[in-house]
Structure 1
Amino acid sequence: MTAPRSLPGRILAAFAAAAIVAQCTPAQAESVVKLPAAAVDPSVKAKRATAVLAGGCFWGVEGVFSRVKGVISVESGYHGGSAATARYELTHDGKSGHAEAVRIVYDPTQVSYGTLLRVLFSVVADPTLKNRQGPDVGSQYRAAIVPMDAAQRRVATSYLAQIGKGGFFGRPIVVPVESYKRFYPAEANHQDFMRRNPTNGYITRWDAPKLAALKRLYPTLVRTTYAP
């Protein structure tokens, strides 16, 4: 794993990232693939639903989904472990069971669950990487889908099979569909990090290209401001 991203080591990582950011362009974002819409994605009449997704460092995951139309709110946090280890400094060894995750509240009449998964694997996370994303290595940085009900689970398993059979990545899809346990909100300094720190070295190198890719690939899905 690279140095932590908000404690002293993470500051060092930001400096290192800043040194190469001038060479980076949105096209260099990892695993940018325009995926098809989910074949199984039933309509939902409710005005509010919740999705829990993991895709590496939660800064960028939150930042991207906060700009998707139909998303009401996004919160960074931890999922998979216990309350005792649901703290940033206790997840770095990869033994807590937690993944850095986001809880998305969205309006299913405006954006479907399948569309959220399409965005996740098109521009946010590489579904062929196990226990790592970008520069971050460890089970806490795994990509994962955490369905909140049977309908979401059906969409999730179907979409993973769909993009796997489509051969869009050239490698096997290794994303787990995990059972929901409990979502623990992350510390305040991790919330809205991308919006509050647009010039942070880590953000400009690894996360800003993801948002740029969202705008380029799916312009009709993009809202002009961040969700609250």
Structure 2
Amino acid sequence: MFGAGCFWGVEETFRTLPGVKETAVGYAGGKTKDPTYKEVCTDKTGHAEVVHIEFDPAKTSYQKLLDVFFSSHNPMTLNRQGPDVGTQYRSVIFYYSPEQKKLAEATIARLTKEKRFPRPIVTALEPAPPFYMAEDYHQKYLMKRGKNACHY
């Protein structure tokens, strides 16, 4: 489960990848149970906008998802992506297994060693908390509107 700014664009990035079976946008990492978009936007729930991804490991890998995650957003900005500011837009990886955690840590270490980014990566790495599905109108938002990005 990944948070990388506005979940509309993040979902669209992952939705079209070979091997991705399903995506859903929602909220995770906060203290409010089953929050609404309006509540998350207050910046008081602690939730991030996230994309939950179901993928076929025979067709893609978690490493590929990590590579796409780091290449599709700015992992150097804290609580911000482009014009979107607030904790809901933070860069975060919620892992489901020790293997996913190790791969994410190794990827961050490799990108840091390669100096892929000019500033330190601030992406949070946390065990997956409960995922709360966002409202229906947020699901596949850009696809339904014939767009592929949020801010163009």
Q: TM-score, normalised by structure 1?
A: 0.64
Q: In the TM superposition, what whole-angstrom CA distance separates every residue of 1:126-156 from its partner, at most 9, and x where no partner exists? A: 1111100011000100010011010100001
Q: Distance in 2 between matches of 1:180 and 1:90?
A: 21
**Deviation for aligned residue 1:93:** 2.4
Cα-to-partner distance string for 1:97-130 (whole Å, 9 max, x where unaligned): 100001000011111101101001112x111111
In angstroms, what is the RMSD of aligned CA positions? 1.5
Contact residue 197 and residue 203 of structure 1 kept, 8 A:
no
Deviation at 1:180, TM superposition (A): 1.4
Name the CA distance, whole Å, in 2 between partners of 1:82 and 1:94.
Answer: 11
CA shift, 1:175, in A, is 0.5
1:11-90 matched pairs, under 5 angstroms: 52-84=1-33, 86-90=35-39
- Aligned AA for 1:88? Y
What residue in structure 2 maps to residue 171 of structure 1?
119
Letter in 1 for 2:2: L
Q: Could you list the runs of 4 or more consecutive aligned residues of structure 1 that deviate by over 4 angstroms after TM superposition?
A: none
Q: Distance in 1 between matches of 2:39 and 2:27?
A: 11
Is 83-92 or 159-168 further displaced after alignment? 83-92
Could you say if the C-alpha distance between residues 135 and 204 of structure 1 is closer, same or farther in structure 2, counting changes exceeding 3 Å?
Answer: closer
**2:91 equivalent to 1:139:** no
User: Which has a greater percent of helix?
Assistant: 1
1:182 alignment counterpart: 130
Which letter does structure 1 place at the counterpart of 2:113?
K
2:101 to 119, 137, 153: 153
Judge conservation of contact 2:6–2:150 (CA < 8 Å) in 1.
Answer: no
Percent of paired sites with the same residue: 40
Return the alpha-carbon distance in structure 2 between the equivalents of residues 103 and 116 of structure 1. Answer: 12
Q: Which of structures 1 and 2 has the bigger CA Rg?
A: 1
Q: Distance in 2 between matches of 1:141 and 1:166?
A: 26
After TM superposition, the structure 1 = structure 2 runs for residues 208-219 of structure 1, keeping only pairs within 5 Å, are none
Secondary structure, counterpart of 1:127 in structure 2: coil
